[in-house]
Amino acid sequence: MRKFVYLVTLIFLLSIACPALAIDSIYRTGAGQTTVPPDPIWDYPAEVSSAWGDGNNWIFWDPCNSYYPAHVLPLSTQRVLLNRGTGYPVLISAADAAGAVAAELQMTFWGEGDLTITGGSLTVGGMLSVGTAPDGENGYMNITGGTISVGGLFVVGGEDPWEDPCDLWGSGSGFVTMSGGNVSVGSTLEIGTKAGFGRMTLDGGTITAASLDIGAGESGRLFIGYTGLLVLAGDQVAAVNALITAGLIPGGSVEFALDGPHAFNTLVTPEPATLTLLGIGGLALLRRKR
């Protein structure tokens, strides 16, 4: 009888220490769950290609560090953990006909995460986090084309994106460069907030977001150049001007659009002087080549 009591007690303690994990339960409501599989994680040591759309690159992980060989693509109901060495990015391209999906996407996880999007689509129902890791590793994202839809926050360098039952997450550094494509963010674009370090360079393409938050001091920066465009919902000119004045959007310009495709929204673009200098530099380079 005493052994039975000890066994029941041990099972109970383990269930508290390492509860089952799912995007709609422990990380959001705190309730337990039994129906959603553990998180898909990029199987870096055993990957067969760099393509997101290759199911052989994925395994499952639970919050207490147990791995399950699944080798199937992530579902839209699952949080995805992405870690792959810098310089060896996971690739989402037009070749991924079905598109990449996740309930939430985190880069990094016990190692640096690197994601390149050249075409196709990435749909994240909740939060997309670049550069949040337990030991301060970096996360990198390079966007040259395609369509990205983020239903919640887009975090570039931050801290504790999820309430982790095994206390794994910490702050990290995130770096995002964009030269083409379209990104829509249902909530706030956060850069270098919550003890993180973030840098975003928007040289092309369009990002549409509900609002913008950039960490003070050296924590966050948004660089806008060439044809980059950030569209914020409604009139947020005063808030963006404060960020520009504080040096958090170097060379940025802001206006409230009264007509055109982004009417009654706030547009953040490179200031005219910056564009002029870029044009002069381009002409000088062209003359030198001639």
What's the CA gap between 33 and 35, in Å, rounded?
A: 6
Q: Which of 141, 133, 191, 139 is nearest to 162 (CA)?
A: 133
pLDDT digits (tens, 9 = 90+) for 7-25: 444 434 434 444 333 332 2
Q: Is the predicted pLDDT of residue 276 greater than 50, yes or no?
A: no
CA–CA gap between residue 59 and residue 44 (Å, rounded): 10
Question: Hey, where are the domains in the chain?
Answer: 75-289
- The region of weakest confidence among 11-20, 154-163, 183-192 is 11-20
pLDDT of 83 higher than 50? yes
CB atoms within 10 A of CB 93: 18
d(CA 131, CA 204): 22
The string of pLDDT tens digits covering residues 98-143 is: 899 999 998 876 667 889 999 999 999 999 999 876 566 788 999 9
Provide the β-strand partners of residue 60. 40, 68
* Tokens matching residue 98: 């079905």
pLDDT of residue 68: 65
Distance CA 234, CA 263 (A): 9
- Residue-wise burial string across 256-283, b where 16 or more C-beta atoms lie within 10 A, e elsewhere: beeeeeeeebbbbbbbeebbeeeeeeee
Residues 173, 285: Cα–Cα separation, whole Å:
34
For residue 280, is pLDDT > 80?
no
Residue 267 pLDDT > 60: yes
Compare 250 and 5 and report the one with higher pLDDT: 250
pLDDT one-digit tens code per residue, 201-237: 999 999 999 999 999 888 999 999 999 999 999 999 9
What is the C-alpha separation between 140 and 82, in angstroms, rounded? Answer: 11
The pLDDT value recorded for residue 249 is 97
Q: Is the pLDDT of residue 163 over 60?
A: no
Distance between the two ends of the chain, CA-based, in angstroms? Answer: 91
Average pLDDT, the chain: 77
pLDDT score for 49: 82
Tell me how far apart the alpha carbons of residues 266 and 238 are, in angstroms, rounded to a whole number: 10
The overall pTM is greater than 0.85: no
Q: Parallel, antiparallel, or unpaired for β 138-143 and 121-124?
A: unpaired
Which of the residue ranges 3-12, 42-51, 59-68, 217-226 has the most confident prediction, judged by mean pLDDT?
217-226
What gap in Å lies between CA 42 and CA 64, rounded to an integer?
17
